Amino acid sequence: MREPITIHARALHRFISSARLIGATTLATAALTLLASPAARACSSCFSLTDRGREAYYASTVFLGLLPFLILGGVIFWLRWAAKHAAESPEGAPARPRADTAEQSAPS
Amino acid sequence: MGVHGPTVAQSRPIVPSAVLGMAMFIATETMFFAGLVSAFLVLRAQSPDWPPIDQPRLPVGVTGLNTLFLLASGLTIQRAAAALRRGEKTVARWLRITLGLGVLFLGIQGSEWVRLVRYGLTTWSSLYGATFYTLVGAHGLHVLAAVIALGVALRRAVTGPVPAAAAAWLTPFRMYWFFVVAVWPILYVLVYLS
């Protein structure tokens, strides 16, 4: 015998995960975004900004949006360079067996 | 595969943990200053008069000279690292010069701030004053932290040989110092010159 709450949860899950509902929600969100975007700027002070201030706001938004990717890219590039440098150096990549592993895998 | 079975390559970090940690910290600090600079630029672009007519002008000349002192401290800490690499005994001397230049920078900044406050530029006098003290003050706090760290490290190193003590922390510390030195000319141009 099924618990009533389980039946309700499954029905709700079926309703939420139906392709029709997902499609309708996506379309409604897209329509609202297109229609309401002029009145729904992310910056609370944008209504009072001058044109110059708005340009600075947009430029800073782009700058702050791209900067994390630049930093991450720089760190990845630096780590790749360090790995390559370590592999090319004489003391780099010392592939020597670990004592404990060697002892464990030795035939008895 | 040999007699002893498969060998396992001993993993060795390509970058020391302290250096990687400092790199991550500097990444967050970069975002912090980028946020402050962005807010400053938006507020300045919005303002009809920048600096406002009734507010005192910033000391461009003295601060320019102070910028040179801070840039020189970047060179001296680089010389300390080079001396450490070559095993020379001048590491402590270069670090003390770096410390002195950092203290000099803070001293001049502090005296200029006192003068500006006397002239009426405070954090609550205008948006101009608020952004000035926030940006320049945030940088000053970073320099102060670096100076304190360097002072403590040098004080501890008095009891032992400096190169041995400095080897562990000098690379990440130098990264932080370079960051603090590199940020300042950007702030100087934005806040004082433009």
Q: Which of B22, B54, B58 is nearest to B135 (CA)?
A: B58
d(CA B58, CA B66): 13
pLDDT at B67: 96
Q: What value of ipTM does the predicted structure carry?
A: 0.74
Is residue B101's pLDDT more than 50? yes
User: Which pLDDT band holds residue B3 (cuts at 50, 70, 90)?
Assistant: very low
d(CA A83, CA B182): 26
Determine, for residues B27 and A71 on separate chains, whether the beta-carbon distance falls below 8 Å.
Answer: yes
Single pTM value for the model: 0.73
pLDDT digits 0-9 by tens, B117-172: 998 888 888 888 999 999 999 999 999 999 999 998 888 765 555 555 567 788 89
pLDDT at A90: 64
Residue B49 forms part of a structural domain:
no
Which parts of chain A have pLDDT scores under 70? Answer: 1-9, 12, 15-16, 37-49, 90-108
Residue B52 forms part of a structural domain:
no
pLDDT at A43: 57
From chain A, pick out residues whose CB is under 8 angstroms from the CB of B7. 95-97, 101-102
From chain A, pick out residues whose CB is under 8 angstroms from the CB of B30. 67, 71
Is B57 exposed, middle or buried, given 0-12, 13-18 or 19+ CB atoms closer than 10 A? exposed
CATH of the domain at B95: 1.20.120.80
pLDDT at A40: 59
Residue B6 forms part of a structural domain:
no
Is residue B176's pLDDT more than 90? yes
pLDDT at B124: 85
B9 close to A95: Cβ distance less than 8 angstroms? yes
User: Which pLDDT band holds residue B1 (cuts at 50, 70, 90)?
Assistant: very low
Residue B33 forms part of a structural domain:
yes
Q: What are the sequence ranges of the domains in chain A? A: 1-35, 49-89
Residue B116 in tokens: 């500006």
Q: Who has greater pLDDT, B4 or A102?
A: B4
The helix (run of H) or strand (run of E) holding residue B172 is helix B162-187
Residue B77 forms part of a structural domain:
yes
pLDDT at A47: 56
Distance from CA of A40 to the nearest CA of B (A): 19
How far apart, in Å, are the Cα atoms of B84 and each of A1, A21, B69, B177?
A: 77, 67, 23, 17
pLDDT digits 0-9 by tens, B27-78: 999 999 999 999 999 888 888 888 888 788 899 999 999 999 999 999 999 9
Residue A64 in tokens: 């702050």
**Residue-number span of the structural domain to which B116 is assigned:** 17-44+61-193
Who's near B1: CB < 8 A, 6+ residues apart? Answer: none
Identify the three-state secondary structure at position A95.
Answer: coil
Quick one: three-class SS letters along B36-48?
Answer: HHHHHHHHHHHCC
Q: Who has greater pLDDT, B81 or B162?
A: B81
Phi-psi region of B50 (alpha: psi -120 to 50; beta: other; left: phi over 0): beta
pLDDT at A103: 40
Distance from CA of A7 to the nearest CA of B (A): 48
B159 close to B51: Cβ distance less than 8 angstroms? no
d(CA B165, CA B98): 17
pLDDT at B75: 96
B73 close to B177: Cβ distance less than 8 angstroms? yes
Does the N-terminal peptide bond of residue B51 adopt cis geometry, omega within 30 degrees of 0? yes
Who's near B112: CB < 8 A, 6+ residues apart? Answer: B59, B62, B63
Q: How many domains does chain B have?
A: 1
pLDDT at A49: 67
From chain B, pick out residues whose CB is under 8 angstroms from the CB of A68. 31
